[in-house]
């Protein structure tokens, strides 16, 4: 008697999912034109920035949400990616197809070296040493005057992608970032549903048990650490491209904290949690800043409330929902079998 999970045709949940996703995608594609019609073009840059942070937060979610590795130094990879592309552009190399892969590979390399040392530690020591490495890079970027030092690096032009998706630079960049966001999400979706992803999820529950069944956990932790660093670097590359500016502040540990906040707000260990968290946090920041300079005060309280009451972030509610609907699925199948 096989026990494959019920394959219910026309599963209402997948259908709603598909419809929902299509709507969101359609909205995203139409956004530049909508904003233009409403005279709110300015917000396109804000949306682009939100998506970039979304990519960064999703990359952190890989190691933090899925893997259970509390890395407090993730901003470092965003920073390395940003500086790499910023420096390349200021030296006259504007080809996106060279610059971005280079930046991503540089980040992967750093993540490999840093992960190799940090992943030997556990618990709070791991948190602290990831923080320490990020601080090191922060101070380095602050002191190296050639790359701008504490004033940061401004660049005059943006990356050249070969194709122009729009005559307006901002709209073109919006679509570029949207494409990278979708690709990143798809990539994350594939790896987390693979055998590799299964190991990562197991490592979060009990990393010693993973070793005890014959899988060298360290190798997998390092691999996901590198992947997360690489995608973080991608976010950084896009960020410097959008802002035309990068400064050491991007690597400051408070930035790592902000990324963690995005992950927790949006949903730990869910595919798009990082994206929603980024959207939510940055929207909160914009909206509250309209009324007061002290937006961090209010965001602090909101964050505190979320931690205390919904520990897995907004996804707590979705996890509850999916468990409820799974029960519904089984009942449905049972009814279908019985005569």
Partner 1 sequence: MTGILILEQALNGLQFGLMLFLLASGLTLVFGIMDMINLAHGALYMIGAFLTAWIVQFTQSFFLSVFLAVILTSLFGMLLEKTLLKTLYARDHMSQVLATFALILILNESVKMIWGTDLPLSAPDYLSGPVEIMPGLMYSSYRLVIIATGLLIALLLYLLVSQTKMGAWVRAGASNRSMAMAMGININALFTSVFGLGAALCAVAGAMLSPLLAVQVGMGENILILAFVVIVIGGIGSVWGAFVGSILVGCVDTMGRSLLPFLFREFLPPQWASAAGPAVASILVYVLMAVVLFIKPQGLFNQRS
Partner 2 sequence: MSHPALFEARHLIKRYGQLVATQDVSLCVNDNEIHALIGPNGAGKTTLVGQLSGQVPCDSGEIFFKGENITKLRIDERVKRGVVRSYQITRLFKSFSCLENVSLSVQARQGSSFSFWSNIKNDHSLTQESESVLESIGLLDKAHVLAADLSHAEQRILELGIAYATQPKLLLLDEPMAGTGPQESELIISLIEKIKSSASIFLIEHDMDTVFRLADRISVLVNGVLIATGTPEEIRSDPQVKAAYLGDEHV
Name the site residues for partner 2 (rule: CB under 8 A): 1-5, 190-191, 193-199, 201-202, 204-206, 208-217, 220, 223
The C-alpha angle 202, 204, 206, rounded to 5 degrees, equals 70
If one counts every other C-beta atom within 10 angstroms of the C-beta of residue 298, the result is 16
Based on CB atoms, which residue is closest to partner 1, 72 or 161? Answer: 72
Among partner 2, partner 1, none, the one that 214 touches (CB under a kind-dependent 5 to 8 A) is partner 2
HSE toward the beta carbon, residue 26, CA cutoff 13 A:
6
Q: How far is the CB of 62 from partner 2 (least distance, A)?
A: 12
Based on CB atoms, which residue is closest to partner 2, 95 or 318? Answer: 318
Residue among 292, 257, 280, 220 at smallest CA distance from 131: 257
Per CB under 8 A, 309 contacts partner 1 = no
Q: x/- binding map, residues 80-119, to partner 1, per CB under 8 A?
A: -------------------------------------x--
Q: How far is the CB of 66 from partner 2 (least distance, A)?
A: 11
Based on CB atoms, which residue is closest to partner 2, 5 or 9? Answer: 5
Q: Phi first, then psi: what are they for 183, rounded to 5°?
A: -60, -45
What is the secondary structure of 27-89 as a DSSP string? HHHHHHHHHHHHT-THHHHHHHHHHHHHHHHHHHHIIIIIT----S-THHHHHHHHHHHHHHH
Per CB under 8 A, 294 contacts partner 1 = yes
> 55-69: b or e for each residue (b if 16 or more CB lie within 10 Å)?
bbbbbbbbbbbbbbb
Query: What residues make contact with partner 1 under the rule CB under 8 A?
Result: 64, 70, 72, 117, 120-125, 127-129, 131-133, 135-136, 139-140, 142-146, 253-254, 257, 260-261, 264, 294, 296-297, 299-301, 303-304, 307-308, 311
């Amino acid at each position: 008697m096989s026990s494959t999970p019920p394959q219910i045709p026309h599963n209402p949940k997948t259908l709603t999912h598909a419809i929902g996703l299509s709507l969101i995608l359609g909205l995203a594609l139409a956004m530049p034109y909508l904003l233009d019609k409403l005279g709110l073009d300015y917000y396109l840059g804000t949306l682009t920035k939100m998506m970039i942070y979304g990519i960064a937060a999703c990359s952190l979610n890989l190691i933090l949400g899925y893997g259970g590795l509390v890395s407090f130094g993730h901003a470092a990879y965003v920073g390395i990616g940003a500086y790499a592309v910023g420096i390349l552009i200021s030296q006259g190399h504007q080809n996106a197809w060279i610059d971005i892969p280079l930046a991503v590979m540089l980040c992967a390399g750093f993540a490999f070296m840093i992960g190799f040392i940090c992943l030997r530690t556990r618990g709070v020591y791991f948190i602290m040493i990831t923080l320490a490495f990020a601080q090191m890079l922060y101070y380095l970027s602050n002191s190296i005057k050639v790359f701008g030092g504490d004033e940061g690096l401004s660049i005059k032009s943006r990356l050249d992608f070969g194709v122009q998706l729009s005559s307006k630079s901002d709209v073109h960049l919006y679509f570029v970032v949207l494409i990278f966001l979708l690709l990143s999400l798809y990539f994350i979706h594939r790896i987390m549903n693979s055998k590799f992803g299964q190991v990562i999820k197991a490592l979060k529950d009990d990393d010693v048990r993973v070793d005890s069944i014959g899988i060298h956990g360290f190798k997998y932790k390092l691999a996901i650490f590198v992947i997360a660093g690489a995608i973080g670097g991608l976010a950084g590359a896009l960020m410097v491209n959008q802002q035309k500016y990068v400064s050491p502040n991007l690597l400051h540990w408070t930035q790592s904290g902000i990324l963690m906040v995005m992950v927790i707000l949006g949903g730990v260990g869910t595919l798009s949690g990082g994206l929603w968290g980024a959207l939510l946090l940055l929207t909160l920041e914009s909206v509250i800043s309209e009324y007061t300079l002290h937006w961090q005060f209010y965001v602090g309280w909101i964050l505190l409330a979320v931690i205390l009451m919904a520990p897995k972030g907004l996804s707590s509610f979705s996890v509850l929902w999916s468990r409820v609907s799974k029960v519904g699925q089984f009942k449905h199948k049972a009814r279908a079998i019985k005569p």
